[in-house]
């Protein structure tokens, strides 16, 4: 009997299942998830927190879908150990699952920085349905929440809490919000949008200490250029990055660095064992956004199905599409210019519109579009094709329709 075992029931695991389809060669596929609920779309946790959708609406597959693909999903039972020698997985409940092929899709967990008091049981991350449940449980007596970290998840958590009627302070150590996707100008537009919603945004600010009793957080000390300050708060959410879940792989003797090391076919150092998603590391790169993980899932599914014409996984520039606080924002490539690069930009901050192109040797290497994202796909195509834009350089910032009309 040929069995595929997948450790993890998140988006990476389920994307592999979707790519495998119904015509795979396995007699059975077993998916092990430590959460007690079926797979859900984690991208939609923010609308769920804001009460704009339901868990059922973000659960993409029903029982029949899994049965058609010969998949058994084991819920609420994490993995205790992987025995590579005997090709066997032991779950926390004591089940022993033999495998022919094994996939680590263990994802990541919230990284909580070493702040005094951050180990309080009332401190929450923002990664899972249980995190959302923990926040919702507090709504009855919750007046103020502090979100630490203004990357994508942090901003979404702040907006979701505000939409539920909670006063929110959003802290970010960097002066630029979402600094992995935005520059200072784009950040200022986002900050203005958040302020319009009534969110208190504090950039250049870090937590110093959390205070509370055994049951709840009561205060947080923060530090900025203005000095130290204490805020009354009943909820602290950390959105300060992620840490890949690699402990099982380490215990099994599989090579790891920051993540589980894989090659261009998503293979680990051990025959028959693969990894993908936020738990893996390829060419010294780990992952947090969806687009590269979708590429990895496509490659891995093809490898598992023994397709001879499988294209290996390789890093490529993705168009990162974001919609935060009602703002459409598309970020591509090197949006911060290096020495010798040319920058073409146009902005209307009063309307929340900003467009920026970074050029190098008459080719686009970076794009930022905020508010108006009409032409971002065209810019992405020009960038991906490494097109020489010298003939339309003076018109490029005005978009595809203008350039075609002027040609």
Tell me, what's the pLDDT at 32?
A: 98
- Identify the CA nearest to 72 among candidates 55, 95, 92: 95
CA distance 244 to 4: 22
Secondary structure E strands in 137-216: 144-148, 167-172, 200-203, 206-212
Distance CA 99, CA 95 (A): 13
For residue 85, CA distances in Å to 6, 139, 252, 255, 269 come to 17, 49, 9, 15, 14
Average pLDDT, the chain: 95
Query: Do residue 104 and residue 187 come from a single domain?
Result: no
Determine the average pLDDT of the residues in 236-257: 97
In a domain, 168, yes or no: yes
Containing 221, the helix (H) or strand (E) segment is: strand 217-224
Q: Is residue 149 part of a domain?
A: yes
Strands 108-110 and 167-172: unpaired
What does the pLDDT look like over 165-205, one tens digit per residue?
A: 999 999 999 999 999 999 999 999 999 999 999 999 999 99
Mean pLDDT score, 126-151: 93
* H or E element that contains 247: helix 247-251
Determine, yes or no, domain membership for 122. Answer: no
Q: In the prediction, which pLDDT does 231 show?
A: 94
Domain boundary among 238, 265, 292: 238
Per the domain annotation, does 173 fall within a domain?
yes
Q: Residues 392, 333: one domain? A: yes
Q: Is 344 inside a domain boundary?
A: yes
Tell me: do 180 and 232 sit in the same domain: yes
Q: Are both 82 and 146 inside the same structural domain? A: no
Token digits of residue 349: 């901050």
Q: Which tokens in the block code for residue 360? A: 């190098």
Final residue belonging to a domain, choices 238, 264, 296: 238
At residue 183, what are phi and psi to the nearest 5 degrees? -100, -175
One domain, residues 295 and 389: no
Query: Residue 52: CB partners within 8 Å, gap ≥ 6?
Result: 163
DSSP structure class, residue 227: E
Q: Same structural domain for residues 54 and 100?
A: yes
**Both 265 and 324 in a single domain?**
no
pLDDT tens by residue, 325-371: 889 999 999 999 999 999 999 999 888 999 999 999 999 999 999 99
Looking at the structure, tell me whether residues 94 and 139 fall in a common domain.
no
Q: What local confidence, expressed as pLDDT, does residue 115 receive? A: 95
For residue 283, the domain's CATH number is 3.50.50.60
Give a yes or no: residue 313 inside a domain. no
pLDDT of residue 146: 97
- Comparing C-alpha atoms, which of 362, 355, 367, 316 is closest to residue 341? 362
95 and 163 part of one domain: no
In this model, does residue 309 exceed pLDDT 80?
A: no
- Note whether 251 and 222 are same-domain residues: no
- What is the domain-level CATH number for residue 390? 3.30.390.30
- 254 and 297 part of one domain: yes
Contact 121, 213 (CB under 8 A): no
pLDDT band for position 216 (50/70/90)?
Answer: confident
Residue 189, in any domain of the structure: yes
Query: Is residue 115 a part of any domain in this protein?
Result: no
Q: Which domain holds residue 18?
A: 3-109+242-304
**Boundary residue ending a domain (192, 210, 238):** 238
- What pLDDT shows up at residue 395? 94
- pLDDT at 307 > cutoff 80: no
The residue with tokens 């979404």 is: 156
Cβ neighbour number for residue 85 with a 10 Å cutoff: 7
Gap between the Cα atoms of 394 and 189, Å rounded: 25
Any idea what DSSP says for residue 322?
E
Give the separation between CA 74 and CA 215, rounded to whole angstroms: 33
Quote the number of domains for the chain: 3
pLDDT of residue 200: 97
- Do residues 297 and 281 both lie within one domain? yes
């Amino acid at each position: 009997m040929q069995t595929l075992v997948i450790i993890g029931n998140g988006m990476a695991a389920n994307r592999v299942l979707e790519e495998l389809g119904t015509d795979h060669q396995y007699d059975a596929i077993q998916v092990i998830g430590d959460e007690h609920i079926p797979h859900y779309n984690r991208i939609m946790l923010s609308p769920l927190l804001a009460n704009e959708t339901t868990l059922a609406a973000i659960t993409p597959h029903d029982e029949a879908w899994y049965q058609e693909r010969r998949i058994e999903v084991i819920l609420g039972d994490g993995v205790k150990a992987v025995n590579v020698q005997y090709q066997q997985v032991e779950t926390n409940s004591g089940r022993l699952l033999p495998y022919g092929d094994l996939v680590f899709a263990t994802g990541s967990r919230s990284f909580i920085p070493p702040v005094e008091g951050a180990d309080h049981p009332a401190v929450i991350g923002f990664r899972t349905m249980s995190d959302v449940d923990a926040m919702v449980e507090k709504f009855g007596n919750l007046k103020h929440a502090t979100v630490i970290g203004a990357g994508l998840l942090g901003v979404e958590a702040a907006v979701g809490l505000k939409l539920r009627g909670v006063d929110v302070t959003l802290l970010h150590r960097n002066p630029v919000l979402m600094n992995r996707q935005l520059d200072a100008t784009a950040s200022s537009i986002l900050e203005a949008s958040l302020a319009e919603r009534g969110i208190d945004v504090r950039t250049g600010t870090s937590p110093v200490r959390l205070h509370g009793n055994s049951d709840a957080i009561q205060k947080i000390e923060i530090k900025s250029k203005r000095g130290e300050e204490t805020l009354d708060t009943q909820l602290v959410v950390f959105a300060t990055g992620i840490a890949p879940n690699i402990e099982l792989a380490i215990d099994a003797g599989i090579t790891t660095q920051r993540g589980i090391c894989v090659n261009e076919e998503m293979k680990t150092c051990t025959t028959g064992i693969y990894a993908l998603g936020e738990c893996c590391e390829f060419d010294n790169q780990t992952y947090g956004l969806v687009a590269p993980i979708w590429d990895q899932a496509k490659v891995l599914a093809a490898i598992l199905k023994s397709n001879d014409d499988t294209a290996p996984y390789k890093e490529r520039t993705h168009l990162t599409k974001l919609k935060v606080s009602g703002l459409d924002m598309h970020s591509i490539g090197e949006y911060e210019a290096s020495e010798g690069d040319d920058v073409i930009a146009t902005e209307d901050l009063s309307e929340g519109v900003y467009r920026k192109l970074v050029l190098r040797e008459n080719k686009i290497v970076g794009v930022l579009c905020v508010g108006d994202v009409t032409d971002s796909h065209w810019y992405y195509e020009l960038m991906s094709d490494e097109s020489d834009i010298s003939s339309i350089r003076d018109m490029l910032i005005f978009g595809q329709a203008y350039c075609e009309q002027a040609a």
